[in-house]
A = this chain, B = another copy of it.
């Protein structure tokens, strides 16, 4: 899995703390985590394409969350960054080879693929259960001062 997922999630957390009124530039987000600016921009553009964030062009532009954090799940972020296609893609090798015709009826779906899809569905379900609001809550419970300090850092380094 690409590391852009980690970047996107952490950036989304900060976007939640800052609030949807103010747009945050990629430059500041990258400086906050010491990440390559242009590449982080590319990842957040993927979030925009996925409908998670919205971009504001122009002089005092930047990014903000397009939806309230209660309606943004980790699955949404992962899907926006990594793409919608599943990790395991069945190539239907059971139909290849000299024996392919007589094998498990071509009409039915590949059972191996079904098992893999079942597992990946469980993974996706678990990710969908975790929402951004829940995650920020957990962080506030675990380290109470962090959100306020992060907010101040972003507002100070204008």
Contact = CB atoms under 8 A, between A and B. Distances in A.
Interface string A97-115: 1111011110010011001
A91 B3 contact: yes
A99 B35 contact: no
Contact of A99 (B6, B88, B143, B150): B150
Nearest to A138: B111
A78 B130 CA distance: 26
A118 B126 CA distance: 7
A139 B115 contact: no
Contacts of A88: 1, 5-6
Interface stretch (A26-34, A51-59, A61-69): A26-34
